[in-house]
A = this chain, B = another copy of it.
Amino acid sequence: MKSKKFRPDWTEKAPAAGTYRSIFKYGDPDSFKHPSDAWYKMIKQDFHLGDEHFLSKGKEGLEQVSLNRSVSLKPHQVEAIKAIVGKENVALDDFSRVQYASGKTTEEMLELRHGIIREVADAVVHPRDKHDVQKLMEYCDKELIPVTVFSGGSSVNFGCRPVKGGISLVMSTHMNKLLEVNELNQTARVQPGMFGPSYEDVLNKAPELFKTKYRYTCGHFPQSFEYSTVGGWIVTLGSGQASTYYGDAYDIVFSQEYVTPAGTFKTLDYPATATGPKVNDIMKGSEGAFGILVEVTMKVFRYMPENRERFSFMYPTWEAAVNASREIMQSEFGKPAIYRISDPEETDRGLKLYGVPDIVDKFLSLKGFKSMKRCLSLGNVEGERDYTRLVAQKIKTVARKHGAISLGSYAARKWEHTRYKEPYMREDLGDYGILIDTLEAAVTWDNLHRLHEGVRAYIKSRPDTMCLTHASHFYPQGTNLYFIFIAHMDDPEEFRKFQRGIIDSIQKHGGSLSHHHGVGRMISPWMETHLGKEQMAVLRSLKKHFDPHGIMNPGGQLGLD
A residues whose Cβ falls under 8 Å from a Cβ of B = 182, 184-187, 236-239, 248, 250, 254, 260, 262-279, 281-287, 290, 299, 301-302, 304, 326, 330-334, 382-384, 386-387, 390, 394, 442-446, 473, 475-480, 512-519, 523, 527, 530-535, 537-539, 541-542, 544-546, 558
Contact = CB atoms under 8 A, between A and B. Distances in A.
Contact of A477 (B185, B387, B515): B185
25 contacts: A248-B272, A250-B272, A263-B534, A265-B532, A265-B535, A266-B532, A268-B512, A268-B531, A269-B444, A272-B512, A273-B442, A273-B512, A275-B285, A275-B527, A276-B287, A276-B558, A277-B281, A277-B282, A277-B539, A278-B281, A279-B531, A334-B334, A537-B545, A541-B541, A541-B542
A537 B299 CA distance: 27
A477 B271 contact: yes
B515 A473 contact: no
A446 B184 contact: yes
Contacts of A238: 274
A319 to B, nearest CB: 13
Given A185-B478, A279-B538, A386-B390, 20 more contacts: A184-B445, A187-B477, A239-B274, A263-B537, A268-B531, A270-B478, A271-B442, A272-B442, A273-B515, A274-B515, A274-B518, A275-B513, A275-B519, A275-B527, A275-B530, A276-B539, A278-B281, A281-B282, A282-B282, A332-B387
A473 to B, nearest CB: 7
B279 A281 contact: no
Contacts of A279: 531, 535, 538-539
Contact of A444 (B270, B387, B512): B270
B333 A514 contact: no
B332 A267 contact: no
Nearest to A448: B184
A273 B333 contact: no
A64 to B, nearest CB: 36
Nearest to A530: B275
Given A332-B304, A390-B390, A531 B275 contact: yes
A381 to B, nearest CB: 10
Contacts of A382: 332
Among A185, A262, A304, the one with the most B-chain Cβ atoms within 10 Å of its Cβ is: A185
Contact of A275 (B268, B269, B281, B514): B514
A544 B302 CA distance: 43
A514 B254 contact: no
Contact of A480 (B182, B272, B330): B272
Given A333-B383, A446-B182, A515 B302 contact: no
A503 to B, nearest CB: 12
A488 B533 CA distance: 55
Contacts of A290: 277
Contacts of A260: 534
Given A302-B331, A538-B542, A271 B531 contact: no
B512 A476 contact: no
Given A236-B274, A334-B334, A534 B281 contact: no
Contacts of A270: 442-444, 478, 512
Nearest to A544: B541
Given A184-B326, A444-B269, A262 B537 contact: yes
Contact of A527 (B276, B333, B533, B537): B276
A281 B251 CA distance: 12
A134 to B, nearest CB: 12
Contact of A333 (B386, B473, B512, B534): B386
Nearest to A236: B274
Among A282, A302, A479, A527, the one with the most B-chain Cβ atoms within 10 Å of its Cβ is: A282
Contacts of A480: 272
Contact of A332 (B264, B265, B284, B384): B384
Given A185-B445, A330-B186, A332-B387, A272 B475 contact: yes
